[in-house]
Amino acid sequence: MKKIVLCTNVQRDGDFSFTGQVKAMLEEKGAHVAVCPVCGEHWRDPGFETLPLEQALPGADLLVTLGGDGTILRIAPQVMGYEVPLVGVNLGHTGFLTELDRSNAGLLLKAAAGDFTTVPRMMLDVEIRRGGERVFFDTALNDAVISGIVQNVHLTAMGDGSRILAFSGDGVIVSSPTGSTAYSMAAGGPLVEPDAEAIILTPVCAHMLAARSFVLGPERTVKVLPSDVSDGRRCVLSADGRGLIDLLDGDEVIVRKSAHRLLMADLGTKSFYETAFEKLGERA
C-alpha cells in the first residue's frame, strides 16, 4: 500500500473540501493518505485526522502539495533528506512548480501508481557570516535576495574570490534554475531549465549600464558584500521569501549549491517551454 502525504495550504483550502475529495479518491485506490496542514496555524476541523509534516514524512512514497508555488517553497526545507518525490496541485495563481490544478487533479492517481519521472531540483545553501561567525543559515529552492529598504544599497558580488559585480542599486538576486522563472526573471535574468545546475546572479535596478545577469557554474561559491549600511541604509536578506534578515556593514552573504535537492514527480503533462509560454508568453 502506497503512503501518500497531502500538504494542504490552509489559506487556499481552509475548509479542507478539496483535500477531502483528493483523500477519498486516493484511498479508494488503496493508498494510505496522511493529511498535513501547512502555511497557517489555525484551521477548521476537517473531520479527519491530521498530522504534523515531520511525523508523516517517514516512509512516504509521494508528497502532494495542495496550494501553489509558495506552498512548495515553504515546505521544501522540511522535506530535505527524505528523498520523497513531490507533485503540486495549484489552487492559487500563476505557478511554475505546481504541475496540476483542480481540473486535472485526477492525474494524482497516475502519480500514486508511480507512473512519473523523478526530476531532481538543485537547492541553494544560504548563510550570513559576521565577524567570521555564522549567524544565519537556510536552504532555498528558488533564491536568496539581498536588497535595500527604501534606499538603494552598495553591493559587491564575488565568485570564488573574484569580483563579478560592484554597483549601487535596489539589490541582487542569487537564484537556482528553479528560481530563474521568479524574481530573477522579472529583474531581467535568463530563464534556465529547472533540471539544469547553475547559479544565476541578477542585479536589480543597478545604477550601472554594464551590470548584467551572470550564469555561473554550480560549483561556484557566491559571496555578496553590502557596504555603507550603517549610515542609515537598511539592507536585508530573504531566502525564498521567508522573512527579512537585517544585514550589517561587513557582513558576508554566502550562497552555494546545497548537498540537498528536491525531487519533483514529473507526470509529463507539459514541457518547461510549454509552461513558460502559457504562464508568460503572449496568447494568440
pLDDT in tens, 171-213: 999 999 999 999 999 999 999 999 999 999 999 999 987 789 9
The pLDDT tens digits of the residues spanning 115-168 come to 999 999 999 999 999 999 999 999 999 999 999 998 899 999 999 999 999 999
Separation CA 264–CA 116 (nearest Å) = 9
The residue annotated as part of the active site, out of 45, 61, 69, 240, is 69
Architecture of the CATH domain 123-259: Sandwich (2.60)
Separation CA 279–CA 80 (nearest Å) = 28
**Which pTM value belongs to this model?**
0.93
Parse the chain into domains and list their residue ranges: 3-116+267-280, 123-259
State which CATH number among 3.40.50.10330, 3.30.70.20, 3.30.300.20, 3.40.50.300 fits the domain covering 3-116+267-280: 3.40.50.10330
Confidence of residue 282 (pLDDT cuts 50, 70, 90): low
Q: What is the DSSP letter of 17?
A: H
Determine whether 252 is exposed, middle or buried from the number of CB atoms within 10 Å of its CB (0-12, 13-18, 19+).
middle
| One-letter amino acid for residue 250 of the chain | G
Separation CA 280–CA 137 (nearest Å) = 33
The pLDDT tens digits of the residues spanning 21-80 come to 999 999 999 999 999 999 887 788 889 999 999 999 999 999 999 999 999 999 999 999
Q: What are phi and psi of 149, to 5 degrees?
A: -110, 115
Is the model's pLDDT at 284 over the cut of 60? no
> Is 69 annotated as catalytic?
yes
Q: Which residues contact 234 (CB under 8 A, 6 or more apart)?
A: 148, 149, 150, 151, 246
The pLDDT tens digits of the residues spanning 70-114 come to 999 999 999 998 999 999 999 987 678 999 999 999 999 999 999
